[in-house]
Every structure is written in C-alpha cells, then in structure tokens.
Amino acid sequence: MIDHVSIPVRDLGRSADFYEAVLRQIGFARLIERRSTVGFGKRYPEFWLNARPAMQAVSEDTGNHVCLRAPTQHAVKAFHETALESGGRDAGAPGFRKVSTTVYYGAFIFDPDGNKVEAVTFPQD
C-alpha cells in the first residue's frame, strides 16, 4: 500500500490554492504548510506539493499520473469541474471506464504545471 505521493510545482502558493479548491471536492484538506512543501489529506498528509521553482512544465506525454480516491461520482465530477474553473486542463472527462479487472468512475485533469491527477470511485456492487 502506498502511504503518500509528492508532485513538483513551480509556484507553491498558486498550486496550494489550486489544490485546496480541487481536493476539497473529494474530502481532502490542507493539513501542513511549510516553506517549500504543502500536504493535503483526510486525516494525515497523503498528497504533497513540493516547490520546484526552476522546473519546466511537465510534458503531458510522460505517462505519469496520480490517482486519488473520491467518495462518490458527484465528488469526481466536482473535482473535475473545480479543476477546470481554477486553471487546470481536461485530461479525461468524468465517466465510467472499463479496465481488465473492474469498472470505475473517474476523471483526469492536468494541473497548472502539467501534472496529471485523477479522481476515482468504484460503483457499489
């Protein structure tokens, strides 16, 4: 099991504000704020932003992405909508997706630095 993930961002303040609005939709809150890092989570920081002011925007074709669990389909939609309203870009509209082992409901966004983040929930049996 993965405990937490970190992503690089060029402007920590801007990204922290972006993610505070977006991640609130799936039940995360800003829990820790330090000079060069901000941690979000439900009870403890599971998703970290690390300041990397000199980095270039992330290329969309890296294949890297982070997937975060959302409680409902409505939360996935709100995550996606809020990201687009807050300066993110669409990387996959909310909807059902079938993979080899299951069906899930998810949405993908690119943040202002090009990081790809997904919100996902699984339908009840």
- Answer with the residue of higher pLDDT: 59 or 110: 110
Provide the CATH number for the domain formed by 5-53+65-121 in this structure: 3.10.180.10
Taking all residues of the chain, what is their mean pLDDT, rounded to a whole number?
94
pLDDT digits (tens, 9 = 90+) for 44-71: 999 999 999 999 888 888 878 999 999 9
Q: Longest C-alpha distance within the chain, in Å?
A: 47
pTM across the whole model: 0.94
Sequence spans of domains, the chain: 5-53+65-121
Edge-to-edge strand ranges of the sheet holding 5-9: 5-9, 45-51, 37-41, 29-33
